[in-house]
């Protein structure tokens, strides 16, 4: 019990994720319109940021390269997205890099030392079956959005919910078999904490973003999908008018070259040789 109280204290002290504490009283489909919102970061000048990737996470990304490419091939629909599977994979990698270096860490560099502790704390709180809905890394997904993904739900701007066929490769969860949302969120937390499963969930989430943009007649680019993942919006005007989404896209732009380099076809031979 003391350990759990300490974890809760760490989350409350470091985090601003109030929606995570209220996850048990919100319907899953409302996640993007209500719970996806994150605190707007302080305004900072400049078109982008200085790239920072922890060495441990850089190594993880190289190990996960094949998983990212496979997930992109499974969840990209070029006829809808207008993207090649490689371009879709670049979006996945860009978001993963971006999600693992937040604006607070950039603003206060000493926080970089405690970020892994904070990330682990949010995961542990969710796993304790309290019904909390904290974001979980590496993809910074909430259990509620994971439930939406498995249910194939795509919330639209007008409040309607589109249902699309989605399958998360490797998931062992059927949300309809859970009577207790606390147990469901704990199970989902375990899956989205796993690197490979988290990538599959993220790819499926971006597929939902493609469907949302298509239905609403919005152009699709990496910016569209990044804003969808961060704030659940795809309209370019809405993205520009949302300080959090606008800053998220600005930050993500810094990681595009790194993501492209990681997934470049020229690296295939190196990966095969390493295997």
CA 44 to CA 42: how far, in whole Å?
6
Query: Which residue's structure tokens are 């990304």?
Result: 61
Distances (CA, A) of 216 to 30, 32, 212, 219, 233: 18, 15, 6, 9, 11
The confidence score (pLDDT) of residue 3 equals: 52
User: Helices (H) and strands (E) in the chain — how many of each?
Assistant: 16, 2
Query: Which residue's structure tokens are 């007008």?
Result: 158
pTM: 0.83
The confidence score (pLDDT) of residue 267 equals: 65
31-61 pLDDT tens trace = 444 435 555 555 555 556 788 898 999 999 9
Q: What tokens appear for 60 in the block?
A: 């993880």
Query: Which residue's structure tokens are 């795509």?
Result: 154
CA 24 to CA 17: how far, in whole Å?
14
How large is the C-alpha radius of gyration of the chain? 18
27 contacts 42 by C-beta, under 8 angstroms: no
The confidence score (pLDDT) of residue 13 equals: 43
Low-confidence ranges of the chain (pLDDT < 50): 4-16, 18, 22, 24-35, 269-275
The confidence score (pLDDT) of residue 111 equals: 72
92 contacts 68 by C-beta, under 8 angstroms: yes
The confidence score (pLDDT) of residue 47 equals: 58
The confidence score (pLDDT) of residue 97 equals: 97
CA 125 to CA 140: how far, in whole Å?
15
What region, left, alpha or beta, does residue 209 occupy, with left being phi > 0 and alpha being psi -120 to 50 degrees? alpha
Query: Which residue's structure tokens are 């704390």?
Result: 121
In percent, the amount of the chain with pLDDT more than 70 equals 76
The confidence score (pLDDT) of residue 182 equals: 94
Residue 116's φ and ψ, nearest 5 degrees, are: -60, -35
CA 242 to CA 193: how far, in whole Å?
28
């Amino acid at each position: 019990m003391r350990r759990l109280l300490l974890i809760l204290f760490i989350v409350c002290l470091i985090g601003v994720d109030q929606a995570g504490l209220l996850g048990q009283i919100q319907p899953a489909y409302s996640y993007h319109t209500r719970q996806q919102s994150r605190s707007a970061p302080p305004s900072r000048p400049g078109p982008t940021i200085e790239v920072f990737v922890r060495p441990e996470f850089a190594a993880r990304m190289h190990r996960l390269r094949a998983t990212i490419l496979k997930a992109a091939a499974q969840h990209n629909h070029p006829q809808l997205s207008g993207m090649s599977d490689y371009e879709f994979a670049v979006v996945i990698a860009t978001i993963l890099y971006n999600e693992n270096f937040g604006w607070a860490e950039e603003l206060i560099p000493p926080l970089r030392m405690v970020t892994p502790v904070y990330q682990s704390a949010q995961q542990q709180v969710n796993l304790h079956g309290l019904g909390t809905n904290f974001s979980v890394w590496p993809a910074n997904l909430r259990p509620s959005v994971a439930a939406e993904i498995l249910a194939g739900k795509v919330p639209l701007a007008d409040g309607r919910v589109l249902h699309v066929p989605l399958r998360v490769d490797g998931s062992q969860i059927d949300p309809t078999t859970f009577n207790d949302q606390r147990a469901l969120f704990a199970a989902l937390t375990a899956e989205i904490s796993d690197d490979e499963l988290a990538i599959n969930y993220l790819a499926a989430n971006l597929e939902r973003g493609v469907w949302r943009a298509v239905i609403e007649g919005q152009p699709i680019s990496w910016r569209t999908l990044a804003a969808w993942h961060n704030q659940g919006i795809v309209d370019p005007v809405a993205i520009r008018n949302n300080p959090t989404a606008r800053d998220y896209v600005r930050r993500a732009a810094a990681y595009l070259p790194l993501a492209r380099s990681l997934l470049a076809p020229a690296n295939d031979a190196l990966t095969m040789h390493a295997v």
